[in-house]
């Protein structure tokens, strides 16, 4: 079988095996060419590592962006030459890509110089990481800490060993290699800390669907066309290191892993423990912390009831004894815009209330949150410009003590009496030591008065009874009243209350008084 027939049969077989999203062939040129998107197999325990500014970041991943193989079936393939190709990736170093390119050529030789594209595709998908020794971790530190270099002397080092170089390795101006080198300079090569060459190549992209990749014409870039040999460079000229996301490569790989996990989840079937039904992943939701899965219909109903009741802090996993909380983005995807607005507003208010440095404007029509300054009892509302005291919520009164209500005075006095150390000092700074001492003295006086006096039934004046009978006379309004039942007595015959048989205080005029004899005995007993 001649080369052309072997190529046609091989491409026909591959097109029947792979989907057009993975394998794409162009038959319009002089030689058939195409692209293959190889998704490498990733072991379950692979960790992505990046060390930037002395800080190491490590994240477990399950998926990596594909490698892109751009091939061209030259006339001599497969009898005397392997396919011309370029191998592109963004998460491998140029040295690793060069090793892969060399191994692909070795596979063609090992295969007896027969068609080898299918073997290449299988190797790139199933054995890439194993061949490179990437088992437990993928370190991309060198890929995100490169420096740009375009110095002529440094670039010429890539051409040592070329036919146009002299014994010292210097390339003569006017030679083919020198012209190629000048072309490389214009393309702005990149050299990382290990002096590894990288190529800016916008026409290659790590899309999963190769049919969506936009290929830019690069006929004038001789060194970016598919090659059949390694070339004279330090690294394989068929290895192309993508620079698409070089500044954010670590984030790019994490995002790619997340979307691939989501894609896999959406295509699988999951059991909902609420409705006891099997549903596809795109109809289900996962709580990120606990990984419990429920269908969206059940979770949506649960969220709607909780939000309507104002329990926005209880949008947790329905699993028994699970405290995993739903993310706001998950809530937004499930409930209506109106209900999410209510959820967002209640959650914001509850969060602000839990912050010690946030206070609300005391004006009823405003209620705008105000940020407090450290060690300052004055606050200014940014909405209505009201200046108020952060303690009493009244208009700012400077160094004057706050005007407190009766219930507030009692509460503050109890806190002050029970406080110790810094808590007591904070209260003194806030209210003033003199104010607090006055509160304590007044409270103690009021307590003594409540225990040792009674109120006049006419004018409500406090009356203290030291001795005498139970017929009392108010010192303020001269009203007669009974000390026992606190009833008001007749102004003409006040003692009739104690002589009336129907009175509850009958014959109790002297009830509670000490017997003079008993009083003498008590005094005598003090000296025994």
> Known catalytic residues?
469
Structure tokens at 521: 């005995």
- Burial readout 371-394 (b: 16 or more C-beta within 10 A, e: otherwise): eeeeeebebebeeeebebbbebee
Tell me the pairing of strands 284-286 and 277-280. Answer: unpaired
The secondary structure of residue 316, as a DSSP letter, is B
CA distances from 198 to 68, 134, 218, 239, 420 (A): 16, 21, 17, 9, 68
Burial 122-155 (b: 16+ CB within 10 A, else e): ebbbeebbeebebeeebebebbbebeeeeeeeeb
CA–CA gap between residue 92 and residue 85 (Å, rounded)? 17
> 176 by DSSP, 3-state: which?
helix
Query: What is the CB-side half-sphere exposure of residue 253 using CA atoms within 13 A?
Result: 27
- Listing DSSP states for 77-125 in one string gives TTTT-PPEEEEEESSS-HHHHHHHHHHHHHHHHHTTSS--HHHHHHHHH
CA distance to 89, 223, 497, per residue, from 228 (Å): 19, 12, 128
Q: Which two tokens stand for residue 269?
A: 């079937």
> How many CB atoms within 10 Å of residue 429?
11
Q: CA–CA separation, 315 vs 324, rounded Å? A: 9
Q: How, if at all, do strands 67-72 and 197-198 pair? A: unpaired
The b-or-e profile of 309-346 (16+ CB within 10 A means b, else e) is eeebeebbbeeeeeeebbeeebbeebbeeebbebbeee
d(CA 494, CA 30): 133
Query: Would you tell me how many other CB atoms lie within 10 Å of the CB of residue 516?
Result: 8
Measured at the alpha carbon of residue 468, what is the angle toward residues 462 and 472, in degrees to the nearest 5? Answer: 40
């Amino acid at each position: 079988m001649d080369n052309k027939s072997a190529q046609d049969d091989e491409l026909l077989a591959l097109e029947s095996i792979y989907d057009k999203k993975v394998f794409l062939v162009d038959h319009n040129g002089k030689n058939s060419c195409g692209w293959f998107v190889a998704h490498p197999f990733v072991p379950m325990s692979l960790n992505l590592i990046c060390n930037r500014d002395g800080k190491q970041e490590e994240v477990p991943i399950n998926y990596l962006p594909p490698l892109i193989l751009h091939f061209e079936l030259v006339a001599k393939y497969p009898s005397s030459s392997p396919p011309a190709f370029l191998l592109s990736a963004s998460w491998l170093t140029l040295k690793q890509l060069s090793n892969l390119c060399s191994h692909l050529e070795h596979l063609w030789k090992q295969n007896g110089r027969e068609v080898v594209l299918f073997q290449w595709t299988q190797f790139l998908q199933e054995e890439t990481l194993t061949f490179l020794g990437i088992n437990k971790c993928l370190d991309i530190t060198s890929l995100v800490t490169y420096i740009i270099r375009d110095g002529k002397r440094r670039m010429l080092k890539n051409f040592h060993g070329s036919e146009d170089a002299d014994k010292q390795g210097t390339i003569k101006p006017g030679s083919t290699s020198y012209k190629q080198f000048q072309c490389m300079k214009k393309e702005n090569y990149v050299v990382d800390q290990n002096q590894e060459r990288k190529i800016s190549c916008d026409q290659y992209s790590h899309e999963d669907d190769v049919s969506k990749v936009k290929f830019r014409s690069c006929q004038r870039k001789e060194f970016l066309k598919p090659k059949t040999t390694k070339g004279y460079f330090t690294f394989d000229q068929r290895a192309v290191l993508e620079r698409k996301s070089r500044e954010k490569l670590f984030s790019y790989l994490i995002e790619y892993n997340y979307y691939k996990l989501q894609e896999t989840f959406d295509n699988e079937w999951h059991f909902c423990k609420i409705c006891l039904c099997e549903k596809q992943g795109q109809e289900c939701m996962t709580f990120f912390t606990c990984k419990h899965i429920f269908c969206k219909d059940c979770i949506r109903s649960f969220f709607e009831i909780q939000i309507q009741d104002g329990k926005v802090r209880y949008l947790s996993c329905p699993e028994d004894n699970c405290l995993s909380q739903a993310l706001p983005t998950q809530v937004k995807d499930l409930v209506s815009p109106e209900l999410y607005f209510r959820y967002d507003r209640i959650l914001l208010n509850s969060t602000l209330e839990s912050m010690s440095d946030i206070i609300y404007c005391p004006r009823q029509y405003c209620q705008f949150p105000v940020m407090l300054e450290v060690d300052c009892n004055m606050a200014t509302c940014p909405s209505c410009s009201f200046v108020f005291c952060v303690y009493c919520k009244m208009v700012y009164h400077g160094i004057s003590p706050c005007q407190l209500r009766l219930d507030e005075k009692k509460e503050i006095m109890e806190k002050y009496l029970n406080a110790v150390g810094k808590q007591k000092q904070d209260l003194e700074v806030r209210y003033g030591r003199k104010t607090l001492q006055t509160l304590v003295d007044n409270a103690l006086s009021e307590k003594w008065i409540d225990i040792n006096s009674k109120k006049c039934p006419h004018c409500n004046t406090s009356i203290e009874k030291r001795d005498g009978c139970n017929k009392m006379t108010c010192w303020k309004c001269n009203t007669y009243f009974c000390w026992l039942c606190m009833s008001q007595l007749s102004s003409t015959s006040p003692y009739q209350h104690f002589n009336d048989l129907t009175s509850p205080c009958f014959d109790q005029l002297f009830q509670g008084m000490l017997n003079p004899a008993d009083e003498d005995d008590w005094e005598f007993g003090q000296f025994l």
